[in-house]
Amino acid sequence: MSPDEQRLSEDRANRKAARGLFDRRIAQVRADLAARSVPARIKAKATDEAAKAIEHGVAVAKESKGIIAATVGALALWFFRAPLLAFVSGLFASKQDLVQDQADSTGGETEESSESE
pLDDT one-digit tens code per residue, 4-46: 899 999 999 999 999 999 999 999 999 988 888 888 889 999 9
pLDDT one-digit tens code per residue, 37-76: 888 889 999 999 999 999 998 998 888 888 889 999 999 9
Q: Is the entire prediction scored with pTM above 0.85?
A: no
Backbone angles phi, psi at 108, to 5 degrees: 100, -5
